[in-house]
Amino acid sequence: MTIPHDFKRTEAMALDLSWLNHIHVNKAAADRRAASLANRRSVKKEYQAAWLVKAIGLIDLTTLSGDDTPGRVERLCMKAMRPLRSDLVEALGISNVTTGAVCVYHEMIKPAVQVLQGRLPIAAVSTGFPAGLTSMETKVREIELSVAAGATEIDIVITRQHVLTGNWQALYDEMLAYRKACGEAHVKAILATGDLVTLENVAKASWVCMMAGADFIKTSTGKEGVNATIPVSLVMVRAIREFYEQTGFKIGYKPAGGVGTAKGALQYMTVMKEELGNEWLEPHLFRIGASSLLTDIERQLEHYVTGNYSAAHRHAQP
């Protein structure tokens, strides 16, 4: 991941509850805007192909299964470094295409480091993922161990009860401790939006995490009943936009869970372009957490090149 030389990483600031008190989300209006973004005519032909190649570089290629093995993670990393078949790369006239990062459990950092050798970021899920209900001491130590093992990004999960009970100080203190434990590693705050009940809770949790120094805010663990959605994404990216207007810090966004099709990826890219602009369509400010998305993108690009769709099983699985 190349970060612009003039990019200024966010810094934690004092918790300002007055910023939260003015937050009100018109759910009907948010749903209408989300529908208009999701349903507008998609880009076609060579423009769609270009957007899909762009999308590959935004993927956090992920495996977070109980049956993960070093071998599976090694294959994931190889796929991340060479996400498209060589014949498609040649036909499209592109080069140096990789995913944005790989995302794994702590125990799988070592095999990822051995394969990637610094060529791609390694994101590790942490802090008692996915529920986040281990002790604070354990969660902070987990971050420290993952950074020491070679993770350059840490995807933490917040304690949902802090949001559900309106204990914003506790959420802020928690996020602040996570940011400190990460050191130079960038931290993505997973809000688990499907558990937060209301869009106002999503907006307020986004603000608190950003004030406490989160580099990214992320929708979901992928393990909740409801994961990334366009309405939730709209609320979160608008919080990012307003935070930037207030502070000058650019915070990244990561939808995760259920983004498994090329069409879905294009919808989220459209949200970013329309709400935040082209600058946020770069991997240091936008990622898509996914495991099966890459296969569908590769199928769509093969259709663009050959005019035929292939079965998903014909493509190498990460």
d(CA 224, CA 221): 7
| CATH of region 17-314, choose from 3.20.20.70, 3.40.50.300, 3.40.1030.10, 3.30.43.10 | 3.20.20.70
Per-residue pLDDT of the chain (318 residues), as tens digits, is 678 878 999 999 999 999 999 999 999 999 999 998 877 767 889 999 999 999 999 999 999 999 999 999 999 999 999 999 999 999 999 999 999 999 999 999 999 999 999 999 999 999 999 999 999 999 999 999 999 999 999 999 999 999 999 999 999 999 999 999 999 999 999 999 999 999 999 999 999 999 999 999 999 999 999 999 999 999 999 999 999 999 999 999 999 999 999 999 999 999 999 999 999 999 999 999 999 999 999 999 999 999 987 776 666 655
Which DSSP letter does residue 216 get?
E
Please give the span between the terminal C-alpha atoms of the chain, in angstroms, as a whole number. Answer: 20
pTM score of the predicted model: 0.95
Cβ-count burial 138-174 (b if 16+ within 10 Å, e if not): ebbebbbebbebbbbbbbbbbbbebbeeeebebbbbb
**DSSP class of 280:** G
- Reported as a single tens digit per residue, the pLDDT across 233-268 is 999 999 999 999 999 999 999 999 999 999 999 999
Contact 273, 286 (CB under 8 A): no
Residue 300's H or E segment, with its range, is: helix 293-306
Please say whether the beta carbons of 105 and 125 come within 8 A.
yes
Give catalytic residue positions. Answer: 155, 218, 254
Q: Is residue 81 within 8 Å of residue 97, measured between CB atoms?
A: no
Residue 68 has which token pair?
């993960």
Q: Is 302 left (phi over 0), alpha (psi -120 to 50) or beta?
A: alpha
Q: What is the pLDDT of residue 317?
A: 59
State the Cα–Cα distance between residues 124 and 188, nearest whole angstrom.
Answer: 10
pLDDT in the model for residue 4? 82
